[in-house]
A and B are shown apart, each in its own frame.
Chain A
Amino acid sequence: SQKIEQNSEALNIQEGKTATLTCNYTNYSPAYLQWYRQDPGRGPVFLLLIRENEKEKRKERLKVTFDTTLKQSLFHITASQPADSATYLCALTFGNEKLTFGTGTRLTIIP
């Protein structure tokens, strides 16, 4: 079965620096990969989607890359702010209507 690994449970970054989160998967390449943000006590919120034929996607201070050779996606937050502190989830789909989620990385931006 497909496994998804997010590089670490927790990541602390100094304010203003770039935060980079990693999502690795095994076996088959997904049709597309998504990143979500989850705040304590709240449901996940969709951030970005990248398809298997796309190398990079950007939205404001967010950037996602997708390397099907390495079976890896990187999620970058540039000029990080304390308000970016949250848990970030990656999720994969293989062309059907279901998503498989990673366990998440808890990001803390230190002022």
Chain B
Amino acid sequence: NAGVTQTPKFRVLKTGQSMTLLCAQDMNHEYMYWYRQDPGMGLRLIHYSVGEGTTAKGEVPDGYNVSRLKKQNFLLGLESAAPSQTSVYFCASSTSEAQHFGDGTRLSIL
């Protein structure tokens, strides 16, 4: 039972490069979320989706885009990476209450 799987686990990028973080869930959950976690800031919501084909902005959406083409997958894109986007990124999925998290992607932007 995999739950929520995030790939990659680690990545180092140069400023201006682009990349996509992948999130997959096998629990048939409608809702999916992308957060970033920074020291002293807690988890902050970037974007979320309430179902296949839908996306919405969270608290800190600037510089990120997302897509939910399939119910089980939620992709987070950085079009032009900036050092301020160095963080740990967590994906989560839920039915309507408890959220289930992956183990994160540690991203460094040099």
Contact = CB atoms under 8 A, between A and B. Distances in A.
Interface in B1-54: 4, 31, 33, 35, 40-45, 48, 50
B103 A34 contact: no
A43 interface: yes
Contacts of B45: 98-100
Interface in B87-110: 90, 92, 94, 96-104
A32 B101 contact: no
Contacts of B31: 97
Size bin of chain A's contact surface: 10 to 19
B58 interface: yes
Given A89-B42, A97-B31, A103-B42, A43 B98 contact: no
Contacts of B100: 46
Nearest to B42: A103
Tell me if B's interface is mostly helix, strand, loop or mixed: strand
Given A46-B98, A46-B99, A46-B100, A97 B50 contact: yes
30 contacts: A34-B97, A41-B103, A41-B104, A43-B4, A43-B92, A43-B103, A44-B43, A44-B99, A44-B101, A45-B101, A46-B98, A46-B99, A46-B100, A49-B97, A49-B98, A89-B42, A97-B31, A97-B48, A97-B50, A97-B96, A98-B45, A98-B58, A99-B45, A99-B99, A100-B45, A101-B35, A101-B44, A103-B40, A103-B41, A104-B42
Interface of B: 4, 31, 33, 35, 40-45, 48, 50, 58, 90, 92, 94, 96-104
Given A49-B97, A97-B96, 12 more contacts: A34-B97, A42-B103, A43-B92, A43-B101, A44-B43, A44-B90, A46-B98, A49-B98, A91-B43, A102-B42, A103-B40, A104-B42
